[in-house]
């Protein structure tokens, strides 16, 4: 049995931009471009980047909500044969979707306001396990208890709950089918600090209890450092650095990773002057970079001619994959 629950190879997702006469396709947005990584069973794999970096698209490709333009995604469940997700048809995907579940970003819009809790959490069990009546109620009650909610709320509607409670409902829904892999897309971003801490603790407890693997997509680097084992940093559709958490945060190698770390506000007023001095400028350019150049070059303080004229090779330095011409030298 493979140690990797998920192996992604050369994954690309291009969205055509249409315009002009007959709405013919004029150009493509390369939301995800030639991304490869593997996720080990039982770990928490972090994906960070700014908005527009393609991290949500990557999560949606893994969930097969989107069909990737190119590449392969191989899923290996516990005691199962590997399955290729990209070429799977709908009937096979339906069984896979019991194993791979998603927690969504916005707890306000990802729960149907017209459905009671028992349906929100248990709807998938009616189909997949043919549960109904008291069997379903029992199962949903257990799930609610698992995420720290009282079972009495079975027949209430999402409107009656706070943001933190709704996110717990979203987590309970994801856990309903005993999944092995959970893709959490900005699962704690919309929550208050104290509720965020509670939710992170809950996710860690559930990971131990149910032996879950997480793909944790987030823009908050402090949260990622807290919960993840390995981290991939994305910029304009590419993974520019992939490293163990300690290596990434103590010794960032890609200039973009450094820029991100410098931008994070630290709750320590004494570090203010030092941090302001180190900051770079610029924001994500909207698709203006040549595909055969380093995508980060327009914002990079170290950019040379070679960066603007050729794509950087992937280099391996101390077990860290870096996409930079000058990795290890700067």
Partner 1 sequence: MSPIHSSLSGGMRQRAMIAMALSCQPRMLIADEPTTALDVTTQAQILDLIADLKEEFDMSVMLITHDLGVVAEVAEDVAVMYMGKVVERGDVYSVFENPKHPYTQALLESVPRIGGVRKKRLPAIKGMVPHPLARPSGCSFRTRCERYMPGVCDRAEPELTKQGESEVACFLYSSELADVR
Chain residues that interact with partner 1, rule: CB under 8 A: 50-51, 162, 164, 192-198, 200-201, 204, 219-223, 225-226, 249-250, 259-272, 275-276, 279, 281, 283-284, 286
Kindly report the number of other CB atoms within 10 A of residue 127's CB atom: 11
Least CB distance to partner 1 at residue 280 (A): 8
Q: Which is nearer to partner 1, 75 or 216 (CB)?
A: 216
Least CB distance to partner 1 at residue 160 (A): 11
139-147 long-range contacts, CB within 8 A, separation 24+: 139/176, 140/172, 140/176, 143/172, 143/175, 143/176, 144/117, 144/172, 146/172, 146/175, 146/206, 146/209, 147/171, 147/172, 147/175, 147/202, 147/206
Cβ atoms of 173 and 144 within 8 Å: the answer is no
Q: Which is nearer to partner 1, 283 or 329 (CB)?
A: 283
Least CB distance to partner 1 at residue 250 (A): 8
* Phi, psi values for residue 15, rounded to 5°: -105, 125
Q: Which is nearer to partner 1, 201 or 309 (CB)?
A: 201
Q: Which is nearer to partner 1, 79 or 193 (CB)?
A: 193
Q: Which is nearer to partner 1, 220 or 314 (CB)?
A: 220
Cβ-proximal residues to 81 (8 Å cutoff; 6+ apart), any chain: none
Least CB distance to partner 1 at residue 315 (A): 24
Least CB distance to partner 1 at residue 276 (A): 6
Least CB distance to partner 1 at residue 95 (A): 35
Q: Which is nearer to partner 1, 205 or 211 (CB)?
A: 205
Integer Cα distance of 89 and 125 in angstroms? 21
Cβ atoms of 269 and 252 within 8 Å: the answer is no
Q: Which is nearer to partner 1, 139 or 219 (CB)?
A: 219
Q: Is the dihedral of CA 226, 231, 235, 237 positive or negative?
A: negative
Least CB distance to partner 1 at residue 85 (A): 29
Kindly report the number of other CB atoms within 10 A of residue 106's CB atom: 15
Work out the end-to-end distance of the chain between its first and last CA atoms, rounded to an integer number of angstroms: 40
Token digits of residue 140? 């949903």
């Amino acid at each position: 049995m493979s140690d990797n629950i998920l192996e992604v190879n050369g994954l690309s997702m291009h969205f055509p931009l249409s315009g002009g006469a007959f709405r013919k396709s004029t150009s493509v947005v390369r939301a995800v471009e030639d991304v490869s990584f593997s996720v080990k069973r039982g770990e928490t794999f972090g994906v960070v980047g700014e908005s527009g970096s393609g991290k949500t698209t990557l999560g949606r490709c893994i969930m097969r909500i989107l069909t990737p333009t190119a590449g392969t995604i191989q899923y290996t469940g516990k005691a199962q044969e590997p399955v290729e997700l990209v070429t799977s048809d709908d009937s096979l995907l339906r069984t896979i979707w019991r194993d791979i579940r998603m927690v969504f970003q916005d707890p306000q819009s990802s729960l149907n306001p017209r459905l009671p809790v028992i349906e929100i959490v248990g709807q998938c069990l009616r189909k997949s396990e043919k549960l109904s009546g008291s069997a379903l109620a029992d199962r949903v009650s257990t799930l609610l208890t698992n995420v720290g909610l009282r079972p009495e709320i079975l027949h209430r509607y999402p409107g009656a709950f706070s943001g933190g409670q709704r996110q717990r409902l979203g987590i309970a829904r994801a856990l309903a089918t005993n999944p092995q892999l959970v893709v959490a897309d900005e699962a704690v971003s919309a929550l208050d600090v104290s509720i965020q801490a509670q939710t992170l603790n809950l996710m860690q407890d559930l990971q131990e209890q149910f032996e879950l693997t997480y793909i944790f997509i987030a823009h908050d680097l402090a949260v990622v450092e807290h919960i993840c084992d390995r981290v991939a940093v994305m910029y304009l559709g590419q993974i520019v650095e992939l490293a163990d958490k300690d290596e990434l945060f103590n010794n960032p190698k890609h200039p973009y990773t450094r820029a991100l770390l410098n931008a994070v506000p630290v709750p320590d007023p004494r570090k203010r002057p030092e941090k302001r001095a180190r900051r770079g400028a610029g924001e994500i350019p909207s698709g203006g970079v040549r595909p055969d150049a380093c995508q980060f070059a327009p914002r990079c303080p170290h950019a040379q001619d070679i960066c603007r004229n050729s794509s950087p090779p992937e280099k391996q330095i101390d077990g860290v994959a870096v996409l930079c011409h000058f990795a290890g030298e700067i």
